[in-house]
Amino acid sequence: MNKFTPLLTILLLLFFVHANAQSGFFSGSFQNNTNFFIRDPKIGAANLPHYDNLKVGTDNWLELKYSNEKFGLETGVRLDLFYNSILRVPTTPYTAVGIGNFFIKKKVKDLTITGGYLYDQIGSGIIYRTFEERTLGIDNALLGARLEYDIKSKVKLKAFAGVQKLKFSIQKPIILGFNADGNFSTKDGKVTFQPGVGVLNRSMDQASINQIVSTIESYDTLGRFVPKYNTYAFTAYNTLTAGGFSWYVEGAYKTTEAIKKDQILDAKDSLVNSAGNCVFTTVNYSTKGFGITLQFKRTENFYLHTSPNATEALFDGMLNFLPPVSRQNSLRLPARYFAPSQENRELAFGAEITYSPSRKITFTFQGSYIRDFLMKKYHPTDTAFFGEAYVAGTFKPTKSLELEFGFMYARYNKFLYRKEGEHDVDAYTPFMELGYKINKKHSIRAELQYQHVLKDYGQWIYALVEYSFAPHFSFAVSDMWNFKPNPNINPNANHYYSFFAGYTLGPHRFTVSYVKQVEGIVCTGGVCRLEPAFSGVKIGINSTF
């Protein structure tokens, strides 16, 4: 624990006690996730510390906030408590307690000053994004200061400086950034422009440079280069809106630095000296009963971290976010094959069309194709990374009944995304969902999905039934059955059961579930990681006050 943590905690709590006596607003939240691990070698939930010895792991977050509009003041503090946690690295227990977040924000006329842990982004996040995603164990806040200045509600200027958070300590490279956002419209107000520019500087510390130099010196003469202390990233973007038409475009460039070598062409974990660039655009058009979205992204060597040096957790040191183009599915089986953005090389296309001939019927058509932008003659393997086609229809014959039927096909380069298996895994997934509102308080929902994927786990069937009794209770039971497995992956036709119960009392929600989960990719908001199989009981508490 940081030696200043107790002092900061006491000072902030004393401030809360004093401030709460004034004409302000005090709020807070508490979240608890506790896992009880039950060993199950059949599904791979074994031979790890949690299953063999520890048996229990828990994660807790207690957050307190105070705001006072009269004085333009807002402040907050969050206490994080992890005991045998699987959040950071799912296979390695993590135990630590400390201040996970604190900040103080003061507004003086058009100037806003913030100090502490900062969550922010520039544009779509291509050159800079700090955020927290608890389900994936991500918390890459910037510990520093930020100034924001509004010019007549037309231009917003922002400057920040600090170091990135690493658990309850910090990473030493210094991060500096500047961002300007505009908001303009024509005299008749029918067309709006929202341009923006951003600059980021990462200044490497001596210890990180020494480690990079040590790595480079192990190469032969041809592979050596002189690493730079400073890296700069630039971006320019704009959103144009006119009626039902909207167009967002962003282009970014990063100066030369030491980055990890292209893993597509060379599996060796080595460094090269390279600049990077990325272009991302999305076009939307919507009118009554019809909507279309087109996306394009080209990425080349846009690896932007605090340092290329390897770290314990996958997301440690991540400074930016490359928006994905593939569909983010909420259904269990279609969500198994998602294509997260690639930092080295990627050419991605996406399109989605929605059509509603009436209020009772909606059709959705979506497709994406992601590949390497190098020609195949320069590439030792297939240049295709991912492709998908998705079609679904939603029908509401009555106010109480809603039906959805759909089909998804995905071609997934498992070797690229998971570093194992085939280059071309084909997944065929038909699905259906039914929702029925019995009355004002009672409702039922059911899902049925089938997946045929011979080069991975084989054939799956998934079924779920959920019953809700508003405003307090909800129950669900499901089974994901690998009824015809691929013997090269798993010889057993395993069942992955789940039983869930939830109780809501005002702002408090309590959940308990018995879960068996297959190994696979877990994604939230376009960010993904591979998680091992899970077997056990999960208890959750979410409370706001």
Q: Which residue has the tokens 């206490």?
A: 79
Task: Give the residue extent of every domain in the chain.
Answer: 1-108
This prediction has a pTM of 0.91
User: Which is nearest to 408 in space by CA: 365, 448, 445, 371?
Assistant: 365
CB 83 within 8 A of CB 58: yes
The two three-digit tokens of residue 72, written as one number: 């333009």
Our CA angle for 438, 443, 447, nearest 5°, is 120
pLDDT of the chain, 545 residues: tens digit per residue = 455 554 555 555 555 555 555 568 889 999 999 999 999 999 999 999 999 999 999 999 999 999 988 888 999 999 999 999 999 888 999 999 999 999 999 999 999 999 999 999 999 999 999 999 998 889 999 999 999 999 988 999 999 999 999 989 999 999 999 999 999 999 898 999 999 999 999 999 999 899 999 988 888 888 789 999 999 999 999 999 999 999 999 999 999 999 887 654 454 568 889 999 999 999 999 999 999 999 999 999 999 999 887 666 678 889 999 999 999 998 999 999 999 999 988 999 999 999 999 999 999 999 999 998 875 544 555 678 999 999 999 999 999 999 999 999 999 999 888 888 888 899 999 999 999 999 999 999 999 999 999 999 999 999 999 999 999 999 999 999 999 999 988 888 999 999 999 999 999 999 999 999 999 888 887 888 888 999 999 999 999 99
Q: How far apart are CA 46 and CA 489, in angstroms?
A: 17
Q: Are 132 and 138 in contact (CB under 8 A)?
A: yes
Distance CA 342, CA 372 (A): 10
